[in-house]
Structure 1
Amino acid sequence: MLDGWTQTLGAGPLLGIAAGAVLLILLLVIKLRVHAFITLVVVSVLTAVVTGLPTDKLMDVLLYGFSGTLGEVALLVCLGAILGRLIEHSGGAKSVAEAMVKAFGEKHAAFALGVTSLLLGFPIFFDAGLIVMLPIIFAVARRMGGRNLLLYGIGGAAAFSVMHVFLPPHPGPVTATVDYGANLGIVMLIGIVIAFPTWYLSGYLWGKFVNSRIPLAVPALFGSIDEDQPVRPPKARTVIGILIIPVVLIFLNTGLTTLVDTGALEGDQLWVQALILIGNSPIALLITALVALVVLGSARGEKGSALEKLVDGTFGPVASVILITGAGGMFGGVLELSGIGDALADTLADVGLPTIVAAYVISVILRLAQGSATVALVTTAGLMAPAVTAGSYGTVDVAAITLATAAGSVFGSHVNDSGFWLVGKLMDMDVKTTLKTWTVQQALESVIAFVLVLVVYLIF
């Protein structure tokens, strides 16, 4: 895209530009109340110009991050919203909420939701998993009083984040494992060991704490609730069965892809290609939405025109979520292509820290600088791989360095991360509240996981 162009600014000026851009976003959104979408587009353009990106490639640079983020996010959010609206409208979410509260008790409902999200998060990506679980999370929160969004929402979102960042077969840890030459089984074993305490401390307990300070009402993302409807709500097991469909399909995709990549399975077989195709997150959610249209719609007597209006009504509430998330990706893409991350990485590589600490710190800086956890993880792994290879580290040591890099990549999600906008807007939080809740949660998740990995590194 930028062939022939070289960034001439040093790390200092680039870091200053990135910091100034972030501050400008916060000023415009929080103080001046400018809409987040407009703010992110304006600041992205200004940042691209100030960092010296070629003007004839300016639109390509802007669309790189916007379209790359928007393409998949739009599909996931729209299909997930359809699924969520059907579950909510049919009374299925309320049925599941009642069943969960009955099974686990009122005091343990938030914990049970978090553990469920951890299990679902093993095969399913962060954004897709969050979309699938939100109807249930919102329904349980309403069942328990209504002004306790953070207790349930933060715990659920944190669970998907932990699994996405630390557990193969998610792409970030798998890529880092390959770059470092780590043993995938050992990485997965250590990841499983640290996943639960990391979630419990940074997700569940943090959710309880921040909920007591910031009581938020549950948003009506999937439509308003009519207590007189429906007359015949589906059973909880029916809804759970529908929600399991994308999990199974995505698990097949990730499992088969891993087997193909390791050479244990021939990837050119038709049945393998077919299962990998239907296990892609958007296709899996599409299939699930179609099943839900039949089971929760037409099979319950909903007519075609009513279903059409129901589906059409889901897109309005999520349009802002999609556009703002795409604009967040645009800003992150500008920061990435301008060379800010590369300049910082090159500078930090010469600091002389212990390898596991250097991997974590570089990953943190890259995450804060350009927003994408995956980019931070992959870039750091590529940068640190020669040092790890030359260091004659043991199998557990290399696995620990891999997970330390992953821990750094999740630190402090803020305005240059599309995930920040996705979580904030799905939970109907303003920027200030999202910074105080989600950004802090991501920082806690990062630090706690790194400490746990460091213990493993030092003991074994």
Structure 2
Amino acid sequence: MEAIEPQYGTVTLLLIAAAAVAVLLFLIMKVKLHAFVSLVLVSVLTAIAVGFEPGDIPDVLMFGFADTIGGVALLVAFGVMLGRLLEVTGGAQTLADTLIGRFGEKRAPMALGVASLLFGFPIFFDAGLVVFVPIILTVARRFGGSVLYYALPAAGAFAVMHATVPPHPGPVAASNLIGANVGLTLLIGLPIAVVAWYVGVMLVSRFLAARVNVSVSDVVFGEVRDGKKAEDADWRAPSFGTVLLLLLIPLVLISFNTVLTTLVDTGVLAEGQAWVGYLSLIGITPVALLVTVIAAILLLGRPNAPMATVSRVVDQALGPVCAIILITGAGGMFGGVLELSGIGDALSGSLSDLGISLILQAFIIATLLRVAQGSATVALTTTGGLIAGAVSDAGLSDVKLTLLVIAIAAGATVLSHVNDSGFWLVSRLFGMDEKTTLKTWTVLETTLGLSVFAIAGLLWMVV
């Protein structure tokens, strides 16, 4: 669906967006209206305010909602099924015990973060996060204290890899749009992502977790009654090798899709080859997670209990995540309304002729697009297209083209807030209210993006 021609100037559109966010926060945090209801209501009011025709508003609302929920629903559903099987059978505890035994209690957050960086290389942010949630929560439950000590390093790792490093779609698209080499973007972006993660996530997460206490949510563990969960049974804990195999299945399968898609997009492989199509199919994230859940049922559940009991366990996993899926979809709806309203384009267009350096211009435009419509991938792609002409005229070296992509990624990372579906996913998976998520996740994403941009800016001055 295409954006409308803005009926108002940039300042008016910006005021509408700011008012929409303010009303949304007021409804959720002060009135205590349910987040899903609040998001849908504010999305409708915003669509009216920016000038959409009444007959077009249902399609406008479905643009962001359907796109977000279509991806998130399957990921979250399969992810919590896998998580519940790992938790009930003791697999998550086995993995947690092994990590702690190898790295020690004090380095557990670092271990989770490093593991997330590795898994985040081919896996998208939301898919990686839902797979790692049971492990994060199991470690947090074992040691106590705020879950943020363990959740933020892992979530931040998936975020920086998703925004900064090919073969993720945002940096690949931005590279292609401005003529940067995707391979060089990978080689330069990867070490920048790791250093920025340590500075902007690992160190900052310690500071935030020490000041904000968040208890372990029951999104994976389920309800406990009379000291015992309904699905408790004589489950035999799997070996570390079995658990690691289950985690490697989506990693390997999704790698097929992301790597092969990148090779086709860059012309290394020809389009239309059958073997590429089949490997890409099993590497589509929902299909890869489906295969993983089936493997978990066979390796963890079926050897311990009848299939009816195993089915009941995975069925009980779905109830608590209904709200997560709907709220995340509604967050995508709100972001979609803002995207189609033309607010982001109006803001970025007003900056394109200011005469500032290209790297700073790229960062600012990406930041405005991120704040205006929420999606990091959209911000990366749109910014790349907006500055492509100026980049072509500048005649930059390959290294500077890569640094521009990284600067765009930095701007597309900062200030995650209520129009970002990832904001709601993190909020609900880790049991945080909106105020707490703004004080922690929004701050962390901002320090992460600023760290990425600071490194790219320093390198820009010396190359």
Q: Which TM-score applies when normalising by structure 1?
A: 0.97
- 1:332-390, Cα deviation, whole Å (9 max, x unpaired): 00001111111111111122211110010011011111111111111111010100110
Q: Which residue of 2 aligns with 1:292?
A: 296
Mapped contact 1:2–1:57 kept (Cα < 8 A): no
Match for 1:370 among 346, 369, 373?
A: 373
Provide the C-alpha distance between the structure 2 equivalents of 1:380 and 1:72, rounded to a whole number of angstroms. 23
Structure-2 change in CA distance of 1:2 and 1:15 (3 Å):
same
Provide the C-alpha distance between the structure 2 equivalents of 1:271 and 1:6, rounded to a whole number of angstroms. 43
Q: Which residue of 2 aligns with 1:381?
A: 384
Match for 2:420 among 417, 421, 445?
A: 417
Q: Which residue of 1 aligns with 2:404?
A: 401
Does residue 281 of structure 2 align to residue 281 of structure 1?
no
Provide the C-alpha distance between the structure 1 equivalents of 2:378 and 2:81, rounded to a whole number of angstroms. 30
Equivalent residue letter for 1:345? S
Match for 1:315 among 315, 318, 322?
A: 318
Q: Which residue of 2 aligns with 1:215?
A: 213
Q: Which residue of 1 aligns with 2:106?
A: 107
**Gap regions ≥5 residues in structure 1:** none
Secondary structure at 1:299's aligned position in 2? coil
Equivalent residue letter for 1:199? W
Shift of 1:223: 2.5
Structure-2 change in CA distance of 1:319 and 1:103 (3 Å):
same
Provide the C-alpha distance between the structure 2 equivalents of 1:179 and 1:436, rounded to a whole number of angstroms. 34
Q: Percent identity?
A: 49
Equivalent residue letter for 1:44? S
Equivalent residue letter for 1:178? N
Provide the C-alpha distance between the structure 2 equivalents of 1:96 and 1:71, rounded to a whole number of angstroms. 31
Equivalent residue letter for 1:215? N
Does residue 437 of structure 2 align to residue 458 of structure 1?
no
Match for 1:437 among 437, 440, 445?
A: 440
Provide the C-alpha distance between the structure 1 equivalents of 2:350 and 2:270, rounded to a whole number of angstroms. 43
Provide the C-alpha distance between the structure 2 equivalents of 1:133 and 1:229, rounded to a whole number of angstroms. 24
Equivalent residue letter for 2:158? F
Q: Which residue of 1 aligns with 2:308?
A: 305
- 1:303-326, Cα deviation, whole Å (9 max, x unpaired): 122122112111111001000000
- 1:31-66, Cα deviation, whole Å (9 max, x unpaired): 111110000000000000011111111100001100
Provide the C-alpha distance between the structure 1 equivalents of 2:244 and 2:321, rounded to a whole number of angstroms. 23
Using the TM superposition, name which of 262-271 and 415-424 deviates more: 262-271
- Pairing 1:72-83 to 2, within 5 Å after superposition: 72-83=71-82
Secondary structure at 1:256's aligned position in 2? helix
Secondary structure at 1:34's aligned position in 2? coil
Mapped contact 1:66–1:327 kept (Cα < 8 A): yes
Using the TM superposition, name which of 197-206 and 167-176 deviates more: 197-206
Question: What CA RMSD, in Å, does the superposition of the two structures yield over aligned residues?
Answer: 1.3
Shift of 1:7: 2.1
Mapped contact 1:91–1:229 kept (Cα < 8 A): no
Provide the C-alpha distance between the structure 1 equivalents of 2:432 and 2:48, rounded to a whole number of angstroms. 31
Shift of 1:107: 1.1
- 1:159-208, Cα deviation, whole Å (9 max, x unpaired): 00010011000000000000010111221111112111111122211111
Q: Which residue of 2 aligns with 1:178?
A: 176
**Gap regions ≥5 residues in structure 2:** none
Provide the C-alpha distance between the structure 1 equivalents of 2:453 and 2:146, rounded to a whole number of angstroms. 29
Equivalent residue letter for 1:121? G
- 1:241-292, Cα deviation, whole Å (9 max, x unpaired): 1011000001111111122222222332222111100001110000000000
Provide the C-alpha distance between the structure 1 equivalents of 2:150 and 2:96, rounded to a whole number of angstroms. 12
| Deviation beyond 6 Å, 4+ runs, structure 1 | none
Equivalent residue letter for 1:359? A
Q: Which TM-score applies when normalising by structure 2?
A: 0.96
Equivalent residue letter for 1:444? T
Provide the C-alpha distance between the structure 2 equivalents of 1:189 and 1:2, rounded to a whole number of angstroms. 35
Q: Which residue of 2 aligns with 1:202?
A: 200
Does residue 240 of structure 2 align to residue 236 of structure 1?
yes
